[in-house]
Copies of this chain bind each other. A is one copy, B any other.
Amino acid sequence: MFERLCIIGIGLIGSSVARAARKQGLCKKIDAYGREQDLANLQLAKRLNVIDDYFIDIAPAVESADCIVIATPVGAVEPVFKLLRPYWNKDAVYTDVCSTKGSVVKAATTVFGRVPTNFIPAHPIAGAECSGVDAGRADLFDNKRLIITPVEDSNVQALDKVTRFWEGLGSTVSLMEVDHHDTVLAATSHLPHILAFALVDLLGRKDEQVEIFKYAAGGFKDFSRIASSDPTMWLDICMANKQEIIPLIQQLQSELHRIQQMLEQGENQRLFETFTYAREARQRFLDQLEK
């Protein structure tokens, strides 16, 4: 149990960490740090009793905190590390929530020369297309996977504390290497988001010419849900992990081209096999989800 939890960035994820930590009694006091332009959001967080106090100065925000969670967009991590550097506390533990881990490790290396041994990178596989402190939920991490990507010289006690913290919030924790995390997430999360944005961009332009959305149904609603995700956050993620994402976009273009050819050449059997394989693969995914 921590004495004082400090959350840097109190949006959807940060406020869910705060809510879950309070509900599970994982810390005595919960504070948040934000920038001056985040003041309204910080005030709302306090009014909602999600946090006890907020700070727009970093020094009082982190002094005496024994657990610091960085819950900003990917692109803000390096500036946050710079802010934290003068006050870095070797007796505290630090973790983050970013969807790309290579970029976080790189930012830490840039700022500190190496990844501080008491900073344990983490990524909760949980989220929603909504954002903001009021969108947070105490059960956001319940039975959701969380990937921790320790580096070679991560401190074992810090790793243990951070693991137990995330487990206490409800997550099922897996350990993974940084690069492997970014490869896997590019496929299961980043590519689908890009695809949803690409499709809705294309169809939105058609809809402006001739009404088509009027005749779209439930399938399209579900399929396009992730295209409602926050553009700033996703720009950050896509740029941070583009080395992994670009080859996948190319592979998907080839896959679409292959299907196009099957249609052109009337290759019913091959197209049927492709659809059938995909259906079975999705069933395999659903079976895993239930485990």
Interfacial residues, chain A to chain B (CB-CB below 8 A): 125-129, 144-145, 147, 174, 183-185, 187-189, 191-207, 210, 212-229, 231-232, 234-235, 238-239, 242, 245-246, 248-253, 255-257, 259-260, 263-264, 266, 268, 271-272, 274-286, 288-289
Choose from B185, B196, B238, B248 the contact partner of A215 (Cβ within 8 Å).
B185
Alpha-carbon gap, A251 to B207, bound state (A): 15
Chain B residue with Cβ nearest A75? B268
Chain B residue with Cβ nearest A124? B217
Alpha-carbon gap, A279 to B200, bound state (A): 8
Chain B contacts of A216 at CB under 8 A?
125, 188-189, 285
Query: What are 12 A-B residue pairs whose CB atoms fall within 8 Å in the complex?
Result: A128-B218, A144-B217, A183-B210, A191-B203, A192-B219, A194-B259, A195-B199, A222-B222, A227-B279, A228-B283, A231-B276, A246-B264
* B242 & A274 in contact (Cβ 8 Å cutoff): no
Chain B contacts of A282 at CB under 8 A?
200, 204, 224, 227-228
Q: A189-B219, A192-B219, A219-B127 are in contact. Are A213 and B288 (CB under 8 A)?
A: yes
Chain B contacts of A200 at CB under 8 A?
278-279, 281-282, 285
Alpha-carbon gap, A192 to B212, bound state (A): 13
* B256 & A220 in contact (Cβ 8 Å cutoff): no
Q: Is the interface of A mostly helix, strand, loop or mixed?
A: helix
Q: How many copies does the complex hold?
A: 2
Chain B residue with Cβ nearest A176? B215
Q: A126-B217, A145-B215, A279-B231 are in contact. Are A198 and B238 (CB under 8 A)?
A: no
- Pairs of residues from A and B, 5 with the lowest C-beta to C-beta distance, nearest first: A204-B281, A231-B275, A188-B216, A200-B278, A213-B285
Q: A198-B259, A253-B253 known; 5 other A-B pairs, CB under 8 Å?
A: A188-B216, A193-B219, A222-B226, A227-B282, A234-B275
* B222 & A225 in contact (Cβ 8 Å cutoff): yes
Chain B residue with Cβ nearest A217? B125
Chain B contacts of A196 at CB under 8 A?
223, 278
Chain B contacts of A221 at CB under 8 A?
285-286, 289
Chain B contacts of A189 at CB under 8 A?
216-217, 219-220
